[in-house]
Amino acid sequence: MRLTPRLVAALSGLALALGGAVAVAPAAQASPQGCFYYVLEKHSDAKPEVVERACLTGAKGTEESRRACYFDLRRDYVPAQVAMEGCRRAAQR
């Protein structure tokens, strides 16, 4: 059993997957989706359902919706700085 061809194939697949993620990443920065991925990347213990709901709430862009987004995330023990930045990203278009 030769390990080299398998390793090359696995690394090639990983490179293609990461290349696609990098190409999509700039578009995902400023939206509820960008908020969602940012919060989960910075605080992986957060519950995805809570983060999704908070980011969709924050996407309205009003001060009240941003505050509601922030407090929803804080109730799930997301650090304050991460919650604030995530809610800010959700409101951007």
State the Rg of the chain over Cα.
17
| pLDDT for position 28 | 43
**Which residues, 6+ apart, have CB-to-CB distance to 88 below 8 Å?**
66
Give 31's pLDDT tier (boundaries 50, 70, 90): confident
Q: Please compute the mean of the pLDDT values over residues 25-50 and round it to a whole number.
A: 84
The answer to whether the predicted template modeling score (pTM) of the entire model surpasses 0.85 is no
User: What is the residue extent of each domain of the chain?
Assistant: 1-27, 31-91
Asked if pLDDT for residue 9 goes beyond 80, the answer is: no
CA distances from 81 to 27, 43, 64, 84, 88 (A): 22, 11, 18, 5, 11
